[in-house]
Each structure stands twice: as C-alpha cells, then as structure tokens.
Amino acid sequence: MMSISGAVRTARIGGGRILLATVGLAALCAHAVAQDAARRGEVPQADLRRQTDGSAALLSPALSLPPYRPASAGAVPDEPADGDSLFPFEVDADQTTAPAMPQRAATTRRGRSDARAARTEAPDAAVPAEPAIVPAQGRTQRIDALDEELNRRVEPGNARLDAIETGTVAREQNPYAPLGLRLGTFDATVTLDQGILWSSNIDKKNAGGEAFVSQSELRLRAVSDWSSHSAQVEAVGIFQKSVSGGDYERTELGIDGSLAYDLGRETTVTATASYRMAPEAASSPIVLPATDSKPLNHEMSASLGVERSFGRARLGLTGAVEREIYSDFEGLCCGTVSQEDRNFTLSTIALRGGYEVSPAFTPFIEAEIGRRSYDLQQDTSGYRRSADRFALTGGTEIDLGEKVQGEVSVGWLRESFDDDRLVPVSALLLDGTLSWSPMRGTTVRVTGGTSVEGSTTAADSGSVLYTSRVELLRESRPNLTLGLLGGISFRDYVNSSDTETTLSAEVNATWWMNRFAGVNGRIRHERLDSTRPNRDYDESSIYLGLKLQR
C-alpha cells in the first residue's frame, strides 16, 4: 500500500504535468493567433478578451503583432490620407460572427478563359467592371500578389507576322543580266562569243567563193560608279580563220572611252578617245593591186569639249583630232606597195549655240572649221591634197525620257584643196543618233553620218559617203532577245556621176540558258551595186555560236 507521502508526491507530479500541458496548449494557441494576425492583420484586443478557451488571457500587450507591411515598396501608400485606412474597411468590435467572404475575381488561367468566353457570348451587353471585393466583417482583406496582373494572359491584338526568311522577295527585272566584275571604281562585264560562220562570198568580191570560218569575239565594257562624274570604256577583239573553203584570216581590234566631268552645276567637260584596227573593206573606193592579204587600216580619234549653260541658253566649244594610217602590203604583181600618200590628220574646232525651248527639245546651230593635212605634201601623182574644211549645221537635241533620246542635224560641208586642179568637195551633211522605245522591252535605234573619202587617182577629188542604219531589238522573254537590222550606204564620187549603193539586212536571236551561257545566231545578206565595173557583189552568211558572259 502506497504511503501518504507517496500519494502526495504522485499528486504533485501529476499536477505539474497538467500545468505543463496547459502552458504548452496556451503557447500553441498564441502561435496560431500570431500566424493569423500576420496573415490577416492586427486583431483588436477586445476580440481576444471574448475567447472562452482562456488562451487569450495568456497574451500580453507586448506579444501583439505589428501591422501588415508589404515586402515590395509601393504596393500600398506609405502614409494614408486623413480619414482613410490602409484597408478598405474597419473592424466592428461588437460583431462576433463574420459574414462569408465573397468569391474573388478569377485570377487563374481557366477562370480568365471562362470570363472571356462569357463576354464573347454577349457582345451587346456592357462589359461589367471588375467585381468589387466586399470586405468581410471582422477580418482583413487579402491583397493579391504584386505580379498577379503580369500573370494574366494578354488579349491577342496584333496579327502574327511571317518570318523574315519567308517574306516576299522583289522579283529581279533582268534575271539573265551578267553579274559583272569590280575593277577599282568600275563595274565591268566580259562577253565571249565563239561560233562557226558560213559565207557564200567570204572575200566580198565580184566573184568570191564560199567558206566556213571559225569566229571568236571578245568584248569588255566598264562603267564608272562615281557620285558626280561618269566614265565608260568599251573594247572588242574579233578573230576569224577559215576551216574549209578559201584561205581567209581577219583580225579586228577596237577600243573607245568617254569621260564627263562636272565643273559645277552649269559647266561640263567631256573627253573621248578611240582606236580601231581592221583590214581595209572590200567596198573601199580605192582600187588596190592584187594581194594575198588585205592591208590594215588604223583609225584614231580624240576630242575635248566644254559646255556652259546660261539659263536656258547653252554654249559649247569642242576640239577634235582624227588620224588615219594605211599600212603597206605585198602585191602579187609589184612587190611592196606603200600607202603613205593616203595617211592624213584631220583637226577641227566646233562652236555650238543652243536654246532650250522645252526640256524635250533644244535646237542648236553649229559652225566647224578645220584642216585635213596629208603626211606627204604631194602624193605619188603630184597633187597637193591637203585641204581646209568648213561646215555649218543646224539641228535639235531630243530628250523625252525613256521614250526618245538623241539628236539630229542637217547642214552643208565644203573642203577646198591646196591644189587648184582638184575640184572642192561640197556636199550635204547629215548626222544623227536617235533611240526610241515604243513599248517596254522594245528598242529602235537609228544612226546616220556623213564622211569625206580621199583618193589617190590623179585629178580625182574623192567621194562622199552617206551611211544609215536601223536596229530593232525585242526582248520577247527574259532569256530571249530578237533583233532585226537594216542598213544602207550611198557613195557619191565628186568628179564623176558614178555612184554606189550598199544594202544589208540581218535577223538575229540570243537565247540564254542561264545567267552565264547562251546560244546566239544570225542570218545576214549584203549587196553592193556600183556603176563602176567589177565592183558589184552579193554575200549571204549564217552564224551559230555559244556566248559566255560574266
């Protein structure tokens, strides 16, 4: 049997355990109240005194939680205005039961989607504002997280754009044009044409024979890429060699260059230079002795001019020099034949005055004086063929944009020889170059000129040659170009009534397989009719070749 002291001891131990349990329960209640206060805000002390579990009596004023402060600055005003509270309601101390809190506005993805669907189904109804949150009696209002607005899905307002790689690409105007090469500040293009030529009269003689000829043609064109000035260079080389039929070989070289330099807005300086080497044409007015090969003819020219505008009036001064050299050749009858008496230099100065009546037409008058000087003071026949030159022309410059461009002129030309036994050359002067584009992809080009030809025949003053050429180009497809060419020339001998007429016609086509290679061909016919004996001839030719460009 337990003693009284043991019972007392047991009672003390049991009472201590009950006291410890009571203290622990009070601490847990205080901790829960602190968490609720931290979450909902400070709770008035009057509510704590109304608790019946006795846990509130254990809370001292020192354990009251501080008022709610957001973690992010700017979530609520730092200092509320007079009469305002940090929260949109005041706690009623006399009310012990809090009414049910209203449901918050949907902030989840699904809730927002349902809200948008509801608005879509009733488009005519006014869209209500966000439902106001009715504060609960006896508790603080919950504040949403600061980034809640950022989490909401943005309404689709902008149309989706395609990727840059799949965007619309501008169509190239000429997909078969050469890419070209960059040479310093010039853009250059190179073209090589290799083919076979058949001719019914390869020598263009009164009784010539047919032959198959291998033809190689190389062309170079360079255009400057400058901001204010411009320059252009063109070069060509043609080599022909017979592969069957008669023995035939021909080489032709040529180069031309031009420069336009602006000295201010009203003054422009222009310069040109050219060189050409080719065998003398069979239609030359000079009858040469029989020879195995045709002698070469070298032509060189250069000019320098300046043009000044005074309002609509224009004034230009141009100086030009032309040089022709005829090489010696081996004749079948008489050995080496010299042609030094045919070499000459022509120097001229031209003064032009014009007036721009409209941007499209600028009429002008041009006066030219010059001197044709032969290398030999007297030719092999004893005639002094050097002569003074004078010309007066009038015409107009035409500029209708892309439709029509060029100039035409007509005048009178006279050359008086130093030898009075020679009749002066006096003739109508016709010159012009005109480009016309009646429709897109079609170009018509017309050229014409007048030149004076010398002579080595005794008492013969020479002849005047008029030339004209019309060329039609049609781009039927981006890779197919068709051409039609017609030419006429008329030679008038000064000391006689003899004349010569040359007619030519040509049809050509070029088909490009790609940007770098194409096939071209042409059919040509030429005929010369002369009142002089043994000079008439007919010649037909067909050419087919491969053209490469870069």
Say whether pLDDT at 107 is over 50: no
User: Which residue spans within 145-205 are E strands per DSSP?
Assistant: 181-183, 186-199
Query: 9: which strand partners?
Result: none
Q: What is the DSSP letter of 386?
A: -
How many angstroms separate the CA atoms of 528 and 387, rounded? 30
CB 345 within 8 A of CB 301: no
Give the pLDDT of residue 333.
74
Among 43-47, 142-146, 471-475, which range has the highest average pLDDT? 471-475
Which residues, 6+ apart, have CB-to-CB distance to 446 below 8 Å?
A: 406, 432, 433, 434, 435, 436, 468, 469, 470, 471
CB 327 within 8 A of CB 298: yes
How many angstroms separate the CA atoms of 117 and 481, rounded? 63
CB 238 within 8 A of CB 252: yes
* Sign, CA torsion 287/288/289/292: negative
pLDDT digits (tens, 9 = 90+) for 271-306: 999 999 999 888 888 877 777 678 899 999 999 999
Percentage with pLDDT > 90 across the chain: 54
Query: Range with the lowest mean pLDDT among 1-10, 327-336, 364-373, 434-443?
Result: 1-10
Which residues, 6+ apart, have CB-to-CB distance to 234 below 8 Å?
A: 219, 220, 221, 222, 255, 256, 257
Among 493, 502, 504, residue whose Cα is nearest residue 470: 504
Give the pLDDT of residue 337.
82
How many angstroms separate the CA atoms of 465 and 461, rounded? 13
Give the pLDDT of residue 371.
97
pLDDT digits (tens, 9 = 90+) for 245-275: 878 899 999 999 999 999 988 999 999 999 9
Give the pLDDT of residue 57.
41
Percentage with pLDDT > 70 across the chain: 69
Q: Which has more pLDDT, 17 or 162?
A: 162
As a whole number of angstroms, the longest Cα–Cα distance in the chain is 181
Say whether pLDDT at 37 is over 90: no
pTM above 0.75, yes or no: no
Give the pLDDT of residue 402.
83
Say whether pLDDT at 54 is over 50: no
How many angstroms separate the CA atoms of 91 and 514, rounded? 88
Among 525, 488, 522, residue whose Cα is nearest residue 503: 488
Give the pLDDT of residue 136.
47
CB 213 within 8 A of CB 199: yes
CB 8 within 8 A of CB 16: no
pLDDT digits (tens, 9 = 90+) for 329-356: 877 777 788 889 999 999 999 999 999 9
Give the pLDDT of residue 453.
93
How many angstroms separate the CA atoms of 170 and 149, rounded? 44
Q: Which has more pLDDT, 9 or 516?
A: 516
Q: Which has more pLDDT, 80 or 210?
A: 210
pLDDT digits (tens, 9 = 90+) for 134-188: 444 545 555 555 555 555 555 556 666 666 665 556 677 788 989 899 999 999 9
Q: Give burial (CB, 10 Å; 0-12/13-18/19+) of 227.
A: exposed
Q: Give burial (CB, 10 Å; 0-12/13-18/19+) of 342.
A: buried
Find the mean pLDDT for residues 474-480: 92
Find the mean pLDDT for residues 48-62: 44
pLDDT digits (tens, 9 = 90+) for 413-456: 999 999 999 999 999 999 999 999 999 889 999 999 999 999 88
